[in-house]
Amino acid sequence: MARKTSVPKANQKIILNCIDQNCTSCGQKMWNDYDNFRTIRTLSGVVRITLKVRRCAHKECESYHQVYRPEEEGAWALPGHEFGLDLIAYVGGLRYQEHRSVPQIHKALREKGVNICQRSVSNVLDRYDELVSVSLTDRNRITKLLGSQEQVILAIDRANASYPAKTLSR
């Protein structure tokens, strides 16, 4: 269904770069290949993010042209979603700690200046439920999701950005 409201104008702009700028396969420097843009609605406003995307340019490398996106992107929002993780956590807190209804949560968000419709609040709550259901202690699930990958990049959210992202290899 087509969007009925326009995407709100960003009141904050940030640029994200890859922390690891060398290819994890061949170790050679990856240059910024192109930029991607995302607009994320957070509790503190609408953020326009420029993502500096890198790719390995060495044709002999097994990761040739594999896309590397800035590690911090995942701390802002889920892939393909416009609402920030802070907003998702806030909605979940209102629902399950304060037992507020969807219309009450919608009202609370509007009072905070978040431009969101009530149906989107329900969708955000669904994302919260999905995130809660994901448990890092569920080894079978993690193995199924990540077992075919050679490595996993762990990153701490931006509130703790002094800790670097870490790459774990098998």
Nearer Cβ to Zn ion (21/101): 21
- How many amino acids of this chain bind Zn ion (CB under 5 A)? 7
Told to check if 23 binds Zn ion by CB under 5 A, we report yes
- Taking CB under 5 A as the criterion, the residue among 25, 39, 44, 50 binding Zn ion is 25
60, two tokens: 């002999």
Told to check if 19 binds Zn ion by CB under 5 A, we report no
What whole-number distance in Å separates Cα of residue 86 and Cα of residue 157? Answer: 11
Q: Which ranges of 72-117 does DSSP label H, i.e. alpha helix?
A: 73-76, 85-96, 102-111
How many CB atoms lie under 10 A from the CB of residue 108?
16
Region of 142 (left: φ > 0; alpha: ψ -120 to 50; beta: rest) is alpha
Window of 51-59, 68-76, 88-96, 159-167 that interacts with Zn ion by CB under 5 A: 51-59
Q: How far is the CB of 38 from Zn ion (least distance, A)?
A: 25
Q: How far is CA 170 from CA 4, 23, 45, 93, 120, in A?
A: 47, 17, 40, 36, 39
Window of 21-29, 70-78, 145-153, 154-162 that interacts with Zn ion by CB under 5 A: 21-29
Nearer Cβ to Zn ion (28/101): 28
Told to check if 51 binds Zn ion by CB under 5 A, we report no
Scan residues 54-113 and list those touching Zn ion (CB under 5 A).
56, 58, 61, 63
CA torsion 108-4-119-10 (nearest 10°) is -40
Q: What's the one-letter identity of residue 29?
A: K
Q: How far is the CB of 27 from Zn ion (least distance, A)?
A: 7
Q: How far is the CB of 15 from Zn ion (least distance, A)?
A: 24
Binding residues for Zn ion, rule: CB under 5 A, are 23, 25-26, 56, 58, 61, 63
